[in-house]
């Protein structure tokens, strides 16, 4: 099915590349935080948790700026 659809193939490749590089960046972040900055594992966990909580809170506060045609129905 994916072989027949160029759109699905492009989405599959894009998703795989995004996940690969995101995981590489997170791994690099952890290595730098633990070794270079000398942070403890607890401090890194708390920092990541606070960052995730702030991201969730701020995403709820952001006003929608994406154009959505009314003919598509409710998003």
**Residues 10-58: pLDDT tens digits?**
999 999 999 999 999 999 999 999 999 999 999 999 999 999 999 998 8
The pLDDT value recorded for residue 4 is 85
Q: Give domain status of residue 31, yes or no.
A: yes
* Res 2 pLDDT > 80: no
d(CA 66, CA 8): 23
Within-domain flag for 75: no
Longest dimension (CA), the chain: 54
In a domain, 1, yes or no: no
| Average pLDDT score, the chain | 86
CB 33 within 8 A of CB 39: yes
Q: Is 63 in a helix, a strand, or coil?
A: coil
Mean pLDDT of 56-64: 78
Q: How many domains does the chain have?
A: 1
CA–CA separation, 63 and 47 (whole Å):
26
């Amino acid at each position: 099915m994916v072989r027949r659809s160029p759109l699905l193939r492009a989405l599959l490749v894009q998703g795989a590349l995004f996940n690969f590089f995101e995981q590489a960046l997170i791994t690099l972040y952890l290595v730098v935080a633990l070794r270079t900055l000398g942070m403890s594992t607890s401090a890194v966990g708390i920092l990541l948790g606070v960052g995730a909580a702030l991201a969730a809170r701020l995403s709820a506060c952001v006003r929608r700026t994406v154009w959505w045609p009314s003919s598509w129905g409710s998003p």
